Amino acid sequence: MAQLKLAEQDKKDLINRLKRAEGQMRGVQRMIEDERDCDAILQQMTAVRSALHTASLTLARTYATQCLIEANDAETTVLAVDTLLKALGKLP
């Protein structure tokens, strides 16, 4: 399949989303270590999951666009769509 080719701004946006999720995850770890309120921890874990889900959808949209544009025949297009659907099926 095709290698990821993101516009520079899209790459920056995706990296920033992932860094934000990474920071949130570290915050969750600290909250657990500090034995913070369960509701607050679950709320932060939901925020991390949402951030990663949004990043995954952004990447999937790029993947779909690139692979479908680069597909030069029906068989390649079907393969690209199948691969994308399998990846999306793994998302929570």
Question: Residue 83: pLDDT above 90?
Answer: no
* Alpha carbon 11 to its chain's center: 12
The two most distant CA atoms of the chain are separated, in Å, by 56
Task: For residue 16, tell me if it sits in a domain.
Answer: yes
Task: For residue 53, tell me if it sits in a domain.
Answer: yes
Alpha-carbon torsion angle 32, 38, 39, 45, nearest 10: 40
Q: CATH code at 21?
A: 1.20.58.1000
Task: For residue 2, tell me if it sits in a domain.
Answer: no
Task: For residue 1, tell me if it sits in a domain.
Answer: no
Based on the structure, what is the number of domains in the chain?
1
Q: What is the pLDDT of residue 2?
A: 60
Domain that holds residue 68: 8-89
Least confident segment among 14-18, 22-26, 49-53, 80-84: 80-84
* Helix, coil or strand: residue 4: coil
Segment 62-80 shows an average pLDDT of: 78
